[in-house]
A and B are shown apart, each in its own frame.
Chain A
């Protein structure tokens, strides 16, 4: 059981077919990520980091090769199954926060619970998680546009956590924040890793990468593990 990793990429390639020719964003990538791992992914711009994260986040499927997440083959899943995996198994934290602008901070956190249970949250879980991120009742009623970047990212983390996913995917989570706020966010991620989450983090900043247990370097779509 334990010898099957949580995430296994086996010879995964991703090719974009453009009019100007084919772009190989991922070139025969093989990578194992075990449960409760903390992986930093680094590499120059355009090297394929986001493309890799999109595969891991089941927002996209590999052109060739196989990807297993939580013991399931992504290529064999239906669209609806992929949607449910995104909802239940993965939490996303984006560089640009990507909160739903029409919903309050609280509703943004409650939203994935509603997706899962098809009803408003009556357990108080959304409120609890948001409180743990330092939000009082009043601040929780604010819309994203009324919050600072650091506050928005904390709402995004709360939203990512609310369905208790195994995997947290963070594509440059500190990229839009100042240094101090960025480090606060990193502290939160370290804490979550400590609570058993598998954290995968894309960053350009070697200081940020130091928080991870290991670093994977990508160049021209190929993995060069450090």
Chain B
């Protein structure tokens, strides 16, 4: 059925095409803003989650005291997990794998190029328990090192390449030899981010950076992920007996807190997108008021010859809805392009873009845009329907 009031609204929009189009641009921007922001947040969450969920079976133990400084040869004033604590952890952990980790940040030089990255000291036997050497071999000789994939590609490193390690201003900087290159790991839930790191043996590490028997982090990889909270509690019981000396976290709780934070960020950027919708609502309201005020006499005609108030209201709400549909459709199409670009630029991957959780933001944004339009049209429509027909007819 072709509704005469819808027809009147369409013609009114067509008559004031430019004005309607300009008002719709506000809605387009609003829809694009909330849809792409929502997608950005969701894609961020999805990609982080995916990366993190591979290490949910890891418990991370670190000193409760913030680490201060540590440099090659320099005096060590830092705190960490002590040898005694490590033994306690090992006792409690039973057959689960315990990996003590040294870590610092250091400058390094390859040929004539300088760089900065993480340096890990690990027992060579532990390396392949949780890392994958993609090229070459793990650490065998005293001066061997395995390196992350990012560092390898950035500095064109191969097996056998040499890296000078340590702060640039120190006199004699030790050299390591690349024995292997690790598989890319991304942002990892177990706190060991190796892509931009150099990994040496624990002996080499303590020889050059100190901190013997003092570990920056101890990871416990549990065999059965269901026992993780029991193991955690046991470690807590044993090591934090008198007071909290170590902080114990597991990857899944970390995952939870990270996704919570990301959720908050998503809400926040959605709210920013929402502001543009408020602006759009004002422009739609404005155009609808203009439409009502320009058509006072026409409204007077409609009312005087027997049009119901509800029908007049409907006519103006249709008009607002048409503006909303134009804005939402254009906005939805543009979100496909803009959202895709934003996600690919900010996250570096569009692998999750077409996932339902992500793509749902396009129809959702469109619906929100249309609803905002109709809401903006409520008052103008109400005003039109409540005009006095005699007064309205008299107006020019």
Contact = CB atoms under 8 A, between A and B. Distances in A.
Interface stretch (A2-10, A81-89, A178-186): A81-89
Interface stretch (B7-15, B266-274, B351-359): B7-15
Given A83-B306, A87-B306, A120-B2, A100 B311 contact: no
A120 B1 contact: yes
B300 to A, nearest CB: 8
A119 to B, nearest CB: 6
A119 B8 CA distance: 14
A110 B2 CA distance: 13
Given A100-B302, A103-B8, A120-B2, A59 B390 contact: yes
Do most interface residues of chain A lie in helix, strand or loop, or is the interface mixed? helix
Which range contains the number of B residues in contact with the other chain? 20 to 34
B301 A102 contact: no
A159 B302 CA distance: 12
Contact of A100 (B15, B298, B389): B298
Given A102-B11, A120-B1, A115 B304 contact: no
B308 A80 contact: yes
B66 interface: no
Contacts of A100: 8, 298, 301-302
Residue in A88, A92, A102 with the greatest tally of chain B CB atoms within 10 Å: A102
Interface string A36-65: 000000000000000000100101100000
A31 B311 CA distance: 34
B305 A159 contact: yes
B274 to A, nearest CB: 35
Contacts of A57: 304
A111 interface: yes
Interface in A135-189: 159
Interface string B248-281: 0000000000000000000000000000000000
A221 interface: no
A92 B12 CA distance: 24
Contact of A79 (B11, B304, B309, B311): B309
A98 B389 CA distance: 12
B229 interface: no
Contacts of B8: 100, 102-103
A92 B390 CA distance: 13
Contacts of B311: 115
B4 A107 contact: yes
Contacts of B53: none
Contacts of B301: 98-100
Nearest to A115: B306
A84 B311 CA distance: 13
B393 interface: yes
A102 B306 CA distance: 17
B305 A92 contact: yes
B382 to A, nearest CB: 14
Contacts, number: 60
A92 B302 contact: no
Nearest to B12: A102
Nearest to B2: A120
A134 interface: no
Nearest to B11: A102
Interface in A107-131: 107, 110-112, 114-116, 119-120
Contacts of B91: none
B304 A92 contact: yes
A101 interface: yes
A158 to B, nearest CB: 12
A60 to B, nearest CB: 6
Given A60-B390, A98-B393, A86 B306 contact: yes
B145 to A, nearest CB: 79
A111 B4 contact: yes
B329 to A, nearest CB: 24
Contacts of B12: 102
A75 B309 CA distance: 19
Contact of B305 (A60, A101, A107, A112): A112
B306 A88 contact: yes
Given A92-B304, A100-B8, 13 more contacts: A59-B304, A83-B308, A84-B306, A86-B304, A86-B305, A87-B305, A92-B305, A98-B297, A98-B393, A100-B298, A102-B15, A115-B305, A120-B4
17 contacts: A54-B390, A80-B308, A83-B308, A84-B306, A86-B304, A86-B305, A92-B304, A98-B393, A100-B298, A100-B301, A100-B302, A101-B298, A111-B4, A115-B306, A115-B307, A115-B311, A159-B305
Interface of B: 1-2, 4, 8, 11-12, 15, 297-298, 300-309, 311, 389-390, 393
Closest 5 CB pairs of A and B: A87-B306, A86-B306, A102-B11, A98-B301, A114-B4
